[in-house]
Structure 1
Amino acid sequence: MKTLKTSILILAAILLIPVLSQAQQNTQAFWVHEDVVKPGMVAEYETVCKELTSNMKKHNIQGLDVIVSNTVDNRYMWVSPISSMADVERPVFKTLAEKMGADKMGALFDRMDKCYDVEHNYVLHLDKELSYMPDGITQTPEGQPYRKFHYFQYAPGNGDAVKEKVKSIKNLFKSKGSKLDYRVYRTGFGYRGEHYMVAIAAKDAADYANKIAANIELLGKEWETMYGDFMDSLIKYESVEGRIRPDMAYSPSNQ
């Protein structure tokens, strides 16, 4: 991954620290680095990423806790919790270079850089109040690596009304005792447009389809009306399939 240290990010860190601190009473902020990998370079990219993770584990690099997911359109998202934008400036790779050798790490990143031409960096906020996970919120439910990411875009001036509709949907799920849980993320710094991103986990695509069908049957006509009303309040909707990649994830061994 190319360096994130730019003057724009430093300025953002200064401006957004109080905003993030206040918001985290009901949310958890995540820094997302997204690589849009060339179709013909997926195998090489994954090989390099696994080598990077292996070196991080070997040297037990501190200051980084990251999960990785990839989508069917070859986007790889590195997701790390942050308490403020200042966390973006953590000297993780400086430490790794000292441990494994700057030349070796540089060669590793040179190989990675050839795998993509487009990358994005942005903040997502996991909204605990709007998410529905009765057994406790987790990004990595055991035995459920499959993901369906739903992106709901709305006009900024319509944000309060859309949020109320999202709350109503959660209340319906609760009242019916739905078995379909989900996490709701709000877009933040660096993301183009106002979105709610809803992530749903399942064992695989078939399990996901079965969960959706059972939930629709459980919620009945009330869901049909409520969901239709919610969709009418949006600018755009899209979804994409993906999966969690524990083989690329990293967390220090003492955590």
Structure 2
Amino acid sequence: MKTTGIIICLFLFMGIVTLQAQETPAMPENFLVIEEFVQPADLPSFNKVQQEAIELWKKFEFDVPVYTYSTDVSSFYWVVPIENFAALDQVFAKAGELTAKMKDDGYDASKKFRDLSTSRETVIHWDKDLSYHPNGYVGQTKENRYCEWTFVYLKAGHEKEMADAIKQYIDFFDSIDETWEWDVYTVSMGYDSPCWILMDRSENSLALKKLESSLQEKYGETFGKLWKNMQPHLRKMDVVTGWFLPDWSMNFEQ
């Protein structure tokens, strides 16, 4: 937990699902995240069945934005931008219509996916004030597909203190000539709350580690002090790595 990678990714969060590079004000603020778990032995079968489903999504022109990520712990994130909680009904209604069309076409999803996966749902909110985009742009691209998510579980009532600690990182990066952008998401509805999700992106894991090492070499002492400001407000952290899947995403503007 004291390694450079965890220290860095604790406050650097980039793009759980952001639209293609666009100015920050256009960034969606709420997202439905469906996390799907697959046993490693079932991945070949799951991938085959899911690819068939994706082809039908495209055939029937499913018009809901879906941003898809695979993780290195044998799970997938299906992330849908939503305006508010009321919009969830619209998303599920469209999904129901699509499922019916697929079944009429001979693809019964309930049978295809039987015994292959389980899932849980979360609604998250993008915190603009704690996110950092000095260039004014956010975006999910094919180039920066590698992702590191840190699930930060706060002590009850420590949200303000954690926010203040992250703002100290923002102030620090404003004071140096280094480029790094991040986003902060808070869980609006989910499990084991309060929970914040932090994420960093890069073209690959090697590039990210190289940047982390460079920053640690230059600013390790400062990072240590900033980290100590955060520690009292944490219950636990979990780090997950993975990749953005453009071919399994829908309505993604290339």
TM-score of the pair, normalised by structure 1: 0.80
Residue 50 of structure 1 corresponds to 51
List structure 1 segments (4+ residues) > 6 angstroms apart after TM superposition.
Answer: 24-27
Residue 94 of structure 1, CA deviation: 3.1
Structure 1 CA distance for aligned equivalents of residues 46 and 135 of structure 2: 35
Query: 1:30-70 CA deviation, whole Å, 9 max, x = no partner?
Result: 001111111111122122222222111122123x1010112
1:104 to 103, 106, 124: 106
| 1:26–1:129 Cα contact (<8 Å) kept | no
Alpha-carbon offset, residue 104 of structure 1: 2.3
Opposite residue 44 of structure 2, the aligned amino acid is: A
Partner of 1:65: 65
Cα deviation, 1:196-230, whole Å, max 9, x if unaligned, reads 21110011111110111122234342222111221
Match of 1:234? 234
Measured against aligned partners, the alpha-carbon deviations of 1:136-180 in whole angstroms (never above 9, x if no partner) come to: 443514411111111221112111111111111122122213322
In structure 2, give the amino acid aligned to 1:33: I
Rounded to whole Å, the distance in 1 between the matches of 2:98 and 2:138 is 29
In structure 2, relative to structure 1, the CA distance for the partners of 1:110 and 1:137 (3 Å cut) is: farther
2:33 match: 32
AA aligned to 1:112 is F
Contact kept in structure 2, 1:148 and 1:242, CA below 8 Å: yes
- State the aligned residue count: 228
**In the TM superposition, what is the alpha-carbon distance from 1:188 to its structure 2 partner?**
1.4
Contact kept, 8 Å, 1:67 with 1:79, in 2: the verdict is yes
The alpha-carbon distance between structure 1 residues 142 and 215, as it changes in their structure 2 partners (threshold 3 A), is farther
- Whichever structure has more helix as a proportion of its residues is 1
Which residue identity lines up with residue 95 of structure 1 in the other structure? E
Q: Does 1:188 align with 2:191?
A: no
Percent identity among equivalent residues?
Answer: 21
Check conservation: 1:41, 1:115, Cα contact below 8 A.
Answer: yes
**For 1:75-125, what per-residue CA distance to the aligned partner results, in whole angstroms no more than 9, with x for missing partners?**
21100011111222222233324544436242x342223212x31111111
Answer whether contact 2:28 2:82 (CA < 8 A) is retained.
no
C-alpha RMSD of the superposition: 2.4
1:36, 1:74 within 8 Å by CA — same for their partners in 2?
yes
SS at match of 2:157: helix
C-alpha change, 1:169 and 1:163, in structure 2 (3 Å) is same
Q: TM-score, normalised by structure 2?
A: 0.81
Task: Give the unaligned 5+ runs of structure 2.
Answer: 1-24
Aligned twin of 1:247: 247
Q: In the superposition, relative to structure 1, how do residues 48 and 139 fare at CA in structure 2: closer, same or farther (>3 Å)? A: farther
Paired with 1:89 and 1:144, the residues of 2 have a C-alpha distance of 32
Amino acid at match of 2:41: G
8 Å contact kept, 1:179–1:215? no
